């Protein structure tokens, strides 16, 4: 990158910062932006054959199988691909082709209120970790938000591998 390009970028940044100081929130990109979501904790993946998918994740991606639970006519397995990063939840009961990105939030009620103010249709449910709501964006992307009100649930199934 040439000195002229670097100088132009610095000047442009200084101008934007000055505009932000003078006009505040009236200028897009000015001010502090607080994200609605916290950490991406889980990627909830539909799997018709959970056992087969576990084997593929372990063999191909060197994933660690954290737990696998069978119950209520389905199987769910938790795998780790890396740390830090979200856990992969392979689910035999999840319908649809796309995964659900599951984000933790600090204030579940406030997050739901913000989503509803923006006309997002949410479906509430309870998960072992606490209250949860799912929603689908217009383009088909699926999301969930939850508040960790039962911290012990995070490791409740660790080490359990049902046959």
- Condensed to tens digits (0 to 9), the pLDDT of residues 8-41 reads 444 444 444 444 444 444 445 555 556 889 999 9
- Sequence ranges of the domains in the chain: 1-33, 40-155
The residues facing 40 across adjacent strands are 103
Round to whole Å and give the CA distance between 146 and 106: 9
**101-156 pLDDT, tens digit each:** 999 999 999 999 999 999 999 999 999 999 999 999 999 999 999 999 999 999 99
C-alpha to C-alpha distance for 115 and 26, rounded to whole angstroms: 23
DSSP 8-state assignment for residue 72: T
Three-point CA angle 7, 9, 12, nearest 5°: 110
Report, at the CATH architecture level, how domain 40-155 is classified: Roll (3.10)
**Cα–Cα distance between 39 and 126 in angstroms, integer?**
19
- pLDDT for 151 equals 95
64-71 β-sheet, strand order: 64-71, 74-80, 87-91, 40-46, 100-104, 142-146, 130-136, 123-127
Among the listed ranges 52-56, 80-84, 103-107, 123-127, which one has the minimum average pLDDT value? 80-84
121 burial type by CB count under 10 A (0-12 exposed, 13-18 middle, 19+ buried)? exposed
User: Please, what's the largest Cα pairwise distance for the chain?
Assistant: 65
Question: What's the pLDDT score for residue 83?
Answer: 85
Q: What is the rounded distance in angstroms from the CA atom of residue 95 to the CA atom of residue 92?
A: 8
């Amino acid at each position: 990158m040439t000195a002229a390009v670097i100088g132009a970028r610095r000047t442009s940044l200084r101008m934007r910062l000055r505009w932000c100081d003078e006009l505040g929130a009236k200028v897009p990109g000015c001010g502090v932006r607080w994200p609605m979501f916290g950490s991406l904790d889980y990627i909830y993946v539909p799997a018709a054959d959970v056992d087969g998918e576990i084997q593929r994740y372990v063999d191909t991606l060197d994933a660690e199988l954290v737990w696998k639970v069978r119950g209520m006519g389905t199987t769910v397995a938790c795998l780790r691909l890396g740390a830090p990063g979200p856990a992969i939840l392979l689910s035999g009961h999840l319908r649809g082709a796309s995964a659900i990105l599951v984000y933790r939030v600090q204030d579940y009620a406030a997050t739901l209120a913000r989503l509803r103010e923006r006309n997002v249709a949410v479906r509430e449910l309870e998960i072992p970790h606490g209250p949860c709501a799912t929603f689908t964006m217009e383009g088909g992307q699926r999301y969930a938000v939850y508040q960790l009100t039962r911290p012990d649930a995070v490791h409740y199934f660790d080490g359990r591998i049902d046959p």
